[in-house]
Amino acid sequence: MKNIKGVNIRISKLQLILLVASFLFLTIDGKAQSINGWLGTPVTFDTSADILTNKTSSNYLTLQYSLNSNSQSGWTVIIQANSNFSNGTAIIDASFVSLSYASSSGGPAGTTGTGYQSLSTNTAKSMINSSGNITGANRNFQQLFDMRVSGGNHLNVGSGTYSTTLTVTILDRNGAVMATNNNIPVSFVVNYSSTCQGATLNTYSSTQGTFTTYAEQMAGKTVTDALSVQYSPNGATCDEWSLHVRAAGNFTNGSQSVAPQFFSLRFNRVSTGTPTATQIGVSNTPVVLNNTDVVLIDGSNAPFGAYVFTEHKFDMLIQGGSHLMVPNGTYTATLIFSLYNSNNVLVSTSTVAVSFQVNSVSNSFTLELQNSANEINLVFNTLESYVNGVSVNKPRGMRVVGYQPYQVLIKTSGINLVGSESNTIPVAAVNVQTTKYTSSSGGISTFSRALSTADQVIVTNPMVDYTQQVVEYDLRYYTAANDSRLSGKTGTFNTTVLFVIIPQ
C-alpha cells in the first residue's frame, strides 16, 4: 500500500508543474511576471506576382510585458519559433519569416532593434539592444514588431493560413529569465495557389447530334454547346491550370461502334464566371478526341477567382463519312475531363456520357451483298490478262428490299487500290456493272461505273411496280483491255467498295 501511495504523490507533483507552466507565469520573489501578445493585420499573398515578392505587415505583433522586478541596461528580448509554419497540409520553413522591433509604448528609454531577424526553430534570436533600466515606474510596457515574409516559390505549396507559435523571453543583463511565454501565435495568409488545392470539376452533356439523311451523314454536323465544364475553385486561385479530355472507348450502340477520332471538341465561350476567354488565351481550334489525353486548354494565362463558380461551353464537331453509315440508334461514349495545375499534377476529374443519334430513313431499306459478292478478286496472272482485261461476275450478288423509290450509290474508301511498299493502282482502273437479275426491268434503271470516291448511282428504282419491292441484281467487276495503269504492277492491291441506298 505504501508503494502505491508513493506513485500517486509523484504523479500529483508532475500535474502541478504542468498546470503552472500552462499559465505562462514566471514568479520571482513571490510576484508573478508575464508576457502576452496580440496581432495586427497579417501579411497576405493574393496573386502569382505577390508570392514572388517580399511583403511586410507593420506593427503586426504587439508584446505586453508585466514585470515585478528591476533590471539594469543590457536586458533583451529573444524570440524562437516553436515549429515551421503550416496550413494543416503544407509546411513553409520558419526561416522565410522575419521579425523586426518597430517601437515601444511605455517602458524604459534607450531601446533599439537589431533589425530583421529570421525566425528559427533551433535558435532564439535577440531582437533588441537596451540602454535603459527597467524600474518600478516602467515595468509594464508594450513592444511592437513588424513581420516580413520572403517571397518565392516556397510559398507556392497551397492556399491557406500558415501559422505557428513563438516562445518570447525577456532576459536581464545577466541572462536570467524575467518572464517568458511559449505560446504566442503568429500567421500569414496565402490566397494564391497554383496547386489548385481544393478545386473540383463537374461536366454535363447539353444536347446531341442527330442524323436523319444520308446527306447529313456524309456532311457531318456541329453540335453547339454540346458539353458544359464547370469549375469550383473553392479557396484556390489556381493559376496556369490546364484542361484535358480523353474518350474511355468508342461511341457504341450494342455491337455497333464509331471511333472517337471522328469527333472533336471546340471551346465556345465562358458562360459563367471568370476569367474571360481572352484572359485565358484559349483557342477555338477543334481538338480531335482520342483514347489518351488531349489538351483543350493549355496553361491558362489567368487564374480562377477564389470561390467564383465558372462554366465553359464546348461544341462537338462530328466528322461526316461512311463511318456514320451505321444502324439507327443512339451511340454513346464516356468522356473523362481532367483539371491539371501548373506543375501538370492532376487536381480533379469528371466523367460524362455524350452521345449522337442515327435515325436515317436510309436504314428503312435493306441492302445485302450475297453469293460471295462481299469479296472480289481480279487476278492478273498471264499476259492475256493485261491484253484483254479481266472480269469477275457475281450473279444475284446484291439484294435490295425497299417499299419506296430509292437509288443505290457506289463509292470507294480511297482514290487508290493500295499494295505493298506503297504501290498503288487508281480505283478508276476497275469498273462495276449492275444489271437486274430478271429480264423485266419493272422501271428500274441500272448503270456501269468506273470506281471513284465520289457517290455514283448504279441503280434507280422509281417503284412504279409494287412487284419491285424485293429485287436482286447481278454485279460484274472488270478492267479494260491494255490498261496502262495496270502495266508493271505486281502484288496484291486492295480497296473497299461501299454500297449506299438512299430514298429518291
Q: Convert the pLDDT of each residue in 422-460 to its tens digit.
A: 899 999 999 999 999 987 888 999 999 999 999 999 999
Quick one: which of 178, 143, 175, 180 has its CA closest to 70?
178
Quick one: which of 138, 143, 141 has its CA closest to 127?
143
Cell readout for 184 is: 504566442
Quick one: which of 158, 167, 209 has its CA closest to 186?
167
SS3 85: strand
What lies within 8 Å, CB to CB, of 181 at 6+ separation is: 24, 34, 35, 36, 37, 167, 168
Quick one: which of 204, 187, 504, 199 has its CA closest to 362?
504
* Cα distance between residue 241 and residue 297, in whole Å: 8
* Cα distance between residue 460 and residue 503, in whole Å: 10
Q: How confident is the model at residue 104 (pLDDT cuts 50, 70, 90)?
A: very high
* Cα distance between residue 268 and residue 284, in whole Å: 7
Q: What is the pLDDT of residue 2?
A: 33
Type of residue numbered 21: A
59 with 38: CB under 8 angstroms?
Answer: no
* Higher per-residue confidence, 368 vs 421: 368
> What's the whole-number mean pLDDT along residues 64-84?
95
* Cα distance between residue 117 and residue 325, in whole Å: 75
Q: What is the pLDDT of residue 32?
A: 67
40: number of Cβ within 10 Å: 14
> What's the whole-number mean pLDDT along residues 399-411?
95
**pTM assigned to the model:** 0.68
Cell readout for 44 is: 497576405
**Is pLDDT at 77 greater than 80 in this prediction?**
yes
45 with 190: CB under 8 angstroms?
Answer: yes
* Cα distance between residue 128 and residue 170, in whole Å: 10
* Cα distance between residue 98 and residue 56, in whole Å: 9
Q: What is the pLDDT of residue 10?
A: 34
Q: Which of 4-8, 108-112, 155-159 reaches the highest mean pLDDT?
A: 108-112
Q: How confident is the model at residue 44 (pLDDT cuts 50, 70, 90)?
A: very high
Q: How confident is the model at residue 488 (pLDDT cuts 50, 70, 90)?
A: confident
**Is pLDDT at 174 greater than 60 in this prediction?**
yes
Q: What is the pLDDT of residue 235?
A: 81
Q: Which residue, chain included where needed, has cell 441500272?
A: 446
Q: What is the pLDDT of residue 283?
A: 94
SS3 19: helix
Q: What is the pLDDT of residue 27?
A: 43
Quick one: which of 205, 234, 209, 158 has its CA closest to 337?
205
443 with 466: CB under 8 angstroms?
Answer: no
Alpha carbon 486 to its chain's center: 53
Quick one: which of 100, 94, 114, 104 has its CA closest to 56?
100
Radius of gyration of the chain (CA): 42
Sign of the Cα pseudo-torsion (96, 98, 177, 62, in order): negative
* Cα distance between residue 308 and residue 348, in whole Å: 17
For the chain, the average pLDDT equals 91
Q: How confident is the model at residue 48 (pLDDT cuts 50, 70, 90)?
A: confident
For Cα atoms 413, 417, 422, give the angle at the middle one, nearest 5 degrees.
Answer: 115
> What's the whole-number mean pLDDT along residues 198-227?
95
Quick one: which of 267, 300, 258 has its CA closest to 285?
267
* Higher per-residue confidence, 17 vs 172: 172
E strands in 218-345: 220-232, 242-247, 251-253, 256-258, 263-272, 287-288, 294-297, 310-319, 329-340
* Cα distance between residue 378 and residue 386, in whole Å: 11
**Is pLDDT at 325 greater than 80 in this prediction?**
yes
Task: Convert 169-180 to b/e letters by CB count within 10 Å (16 or more is b).
Answer: bbbbeeeeebbb
For Cα atoms 186, 187, 192, give the angle at the middle one, nearest 5 degrees.
Answer: 175
